[in-house]
Structure 1
Amino acid sequence: MNRNRIVIIAVAALLVVGAGFWVFNSVLGDTQPASGPMTAIPVAAQPTSVPDPTAEPMPVTPAATDQPTMAPVAPTEAPTAPSAETPPNEVIRYQIVADESTVSFRIAEDLRGQRIEAVGTTNQVAGEIAVNPSDLSTAQIGVIRVNARTFTTDSSNRDRAIRNFILNTDQYEFITFTPTGIEGLSGSGALGQPFTFTIRGDLTIRDITRPVVFEASVRAESAERLVGVATTTVKRSDYNLQIPSVPFVANVSDDVVLTIDFVALAVTQ
């Protein structure tokens, strides 16, 4: 074997080893943990319903005209419910409780020749809802944030591939949904009655934002507690989410089903 051939073989071997290290680090290497607990971005809600003209006017003090402020709540801390009854025409703010909520994605793939549905879940979600029970048409939903670093499936290798290669969570930690409109809500609310409606908004995954529509259903278990679910289907290709070439995985679907199952509790103003 001549010297040139030996050099070529050595260079090829180094390239193979280097490629192996690149594949490991970019697909199966360690990833950054969540930077901290999730906090809700306060929704800029104002009472929008028309006061009862027959009601006796209430005195207004300078403090009463100020915009109420609210500190974000860590996911393990349930917001404190109001102790008194909520008067008609008053907006109630609710915050999603991470410990009782789940965000999931579902996507079909061939794994070792078998068609399966890969499911990833996390409870690291935060957001606010503002509702006037006397006029549901004025309901508002704030920005919903999900920590993409915390998604887990039934495979640790898949989890690392999702965080490292598909979602690039070291650089893009959060997935955000910014609502732009609610359709199908009207009238007044009633405890125990489910309400179905649609939520339009902008979904940002990594550095790409696309308009999506969630189909939602929400029910008030009490004046202080809302439970609901919202679902949409997005195209993986719309967000340029590439699947790494790994053994045993093929034919990954372009459709991804996103679901938010949430509990939201009223907070003091």
Structure 2
Amino acid sequence: MSRSLKTWIIGGVAALLLAFVVAPFVYTRFLADDAPEKLSVGTAASPEAAGESASADGAWKVASGSQAGYRVKEVLFGQRVEAVGRTDQVTGTLTISGTSVGEGSFTVDMASVRSDKDQRDGQFRGRIMDTATYPTSKFTLTEPIELGSLPAVGSRTKAEATGELTLKGESNKVAFEVTASRTAAGSFEVSGQIPVRFTDYGISNPGFPGIEVEDDGMVEFLLKFTR
């Protein structure tokens, strides 16, 4: 083998190493933004309102500032990253009687979900979730949420939620923990993470060439409610 051919081969191997190993490592470790923290409720309250525990009975609706989306773990050319997509296009209602949430649901506009990568978003709206055919996803309570006691303004409480999650036209029973926080006498927040196995909803594995994705992920939400 000639010296020039050897040089060419070595150079080619080095270029491939740079493209498929070094470059993704540098990107994920030094250039890419860290995944945002999980959506969670706040506890901020004005000094005048802190500690109040007025009745929450009645109907409530999802207000501006609410968010919902997904969180999945990816392997990008050998480098582990966490992919997060979100939207603020969320609607919903719930009713409270005493310390029980009797009815509730929220709906998400799937075509408006965005991550930090246009290519990922294109795959999400097309092959993965087919938002043209299935423009929304929905969660509906099927059992009351028993809070035990209403949190005072500026504090939070945890409870178990059971309901039906619909993604891409497929519905499954789900159970998960929610956290509720009273932010004022006339408003409160609820956050949660719903585990999702893609095959349960007829969703193809979200991976594509160069990116491997685990077989399950998380639907996460932060809902802000007002009267």
The farther-off stretch of 238-247 and 257-266 is: 238-247
Q: TM-score, normalised by structure 1?
A: 0.60
**Secondary structure of 1:143's partner?**
strand
Please identify which structure carries the higher strand content.
Answer: 2
Deviation at 1:223, TM superposition (A): 1.8
Give the whole-Å Cα distance in 2 for the aligned partners of 1:143 and 1:90.
Answer: 17
Deviation at 1:141, TM superposition (A): 3.5
Give the whole-Å Cα distance in 2 for the aligned partners of 1:249 and 1:187.
Answer: 45
Give the counterpart of 2:70 among 80, 85, 105. Answer: 105
Say whether the 8 Å CA contact 2:102–2:145 is kept in structure 1.
Answer: no
Say whether the 8 Å CA contact 2:92–2:104 is kept in structure 1.
Answer: yes
The farther-off stretch of 252-261 and 180-189 is: 180-189
Say whether the 8 Å CA contact 2:170–2:201 is kept in structure 1.
Answer: yes
Aligned in 2, Cα 1:185/1:244: closer, same or farther, shift over 3 Å?
A: closer
Partner of 2:60: 94
Structure 1 unaligned residues grouped into runs of 5+: 1-87
Give the whole-Å Cα distance in 1 for the aligned partners of 2:104 and 2:86.
Answer: 21
**Within the alignment, does 1:164 sit opposite 2:126 as a pair?**
yes
Deviation at 1:183, TM superposition (A): 4.1
Partner of 1:253: 214
Q: TM-score, normalised by structure 2?
A: 0.70
Give the counterpart of 2:102 among 137, 140, 144. Answer: 140
Give the whole-Å Cα distance in 2 for the aligned partners of 1:123 and 1:130.
Answer: 22
- Could you list the per-position Cα deviations for residues 48-70 of structure 1 after superposition, in whole angstroms to 9, with x for gaps in the alignment? xxxxxxxxxxxxxxxxxxxxxxx
**Secondary structure of 1:162's partner?**
helix
Percent of matched pairs sharing the same residue: 26
Give the whole-Å Cα distance in 2 for the aligned partners of 1:225 and 1:164.
Answer: 37
Give the whole-Å Cα distance in 1 for the aligned partners of 2:106 and 2:206.
Answer: 28
RMSD (Å) for aligned C-alpha atoms: 2.0
Deviation at 1:160, TM superposition (A): 0.8
Give the counterpart of 1:262 among 219, 223, 227. Answer: 223
**Secondary structure of 1:153's partner?**
coil
Give the whole-Å Cα distance in 1 for the aligned partners of 2:202 and 2:174.
Answer: 16
Partner of 1:212: 174
Give the whole-Å Cα distance in 2 for the aligned partners of 1:195 and 1:245.
Answer: 37
- Could you list the per-position Cα deviations for residues 114-135 of structure 1 after superposition, in whole angstroms to 9, with x for gaps in the alignment? 1111111111111112223xx2
How many residues in Structure 1 have an aligned counterpart in Structure 2?
Answer: 174
Give the whole-Å Cα distance in 1 for the aligned partners of 2:150 and 2:190.
Answer: 17
Q: Structure 1 residue runs of 4+, over 6 Å off?
A: none
Partner of 1:125: 90
For 1:64-79, list aligned pairs within 5 A: none
